[in-house]
Amino acid sequence: MNKPNFDENRRIYDVKCNLKAILDARKGTENEISIRELATKSGLKFETVRRMYHDETRRYQRESLAAICIALDIDISDLLTLVPVKE
């Protein structure tokens, strides 16, 4: 059975949402978009996008991830990354 949260040394990983970095990098450009605008463009609730922006989401809905990626024209690997949990 696969245990995707562990590597061979049993290190635990966490999922980090990079939405804040993505939106912040677009500030001052023609691709700038606010959390509220992204919520509207993606069809998601403002609170859902706000939680992702602040990396407060613990369980991601597939539809939400797809909507964000499509709205921003990014890959899911741009949005989410695995990071080792500090012990």
Q: What is the CATH number of the domain that holds 65?
A: 1.10.260.40
Residue 1 lies in a domain: no
From first to last of its 87 residues, what are the pLDDT tens digits of the chain? 455 555 566 678 899 999 999 999 999 999 999 999 999 999 999 999 999 999 999 999 999 999 999 999 999 999 999 999 876
Residue 3 lies in a domain: no
> Residue 87's pLDDT is what?
65
> Residue 4's pLDDT is what?
58
Please answer whether residues 68 and 42 qualify as being in contact, where contact means their C-beta atoms are separated by less than 8 angstroms: yes
Q: Which long-range contacts (CB under 8 A, 24 or more apart) does 21-25 make?
A: 22/72, 22/74, 22/78, 22/79, 23/53
> Residue 8's pLDDT is what?
60
> Residue 2's pLDDT is what?
52
Please answer whether residues 13 and 38 qualify as being in contact, where contact means their C-beta atoms are separated by less than 8 angstroms: no
Residue 12 lies in a domain: no
Residue 43 lies in a domain: yes
> Residue 71's pLDDT is what?
98
Q: In Å, how far are 4, 15, 20, 36, 64 from 53, measured between CA atoms?
A: 24, 13, 5, 11, 13
Residue 34 lies in a domain: yes
Q: In which domain, by residue range, is 30 found? A: 18-84
> Residue 86's pLDDT is what?
76
Pairwise CA distance, residues 19 & 22, whole Å: 5
Number of domains comprising the chain: 1
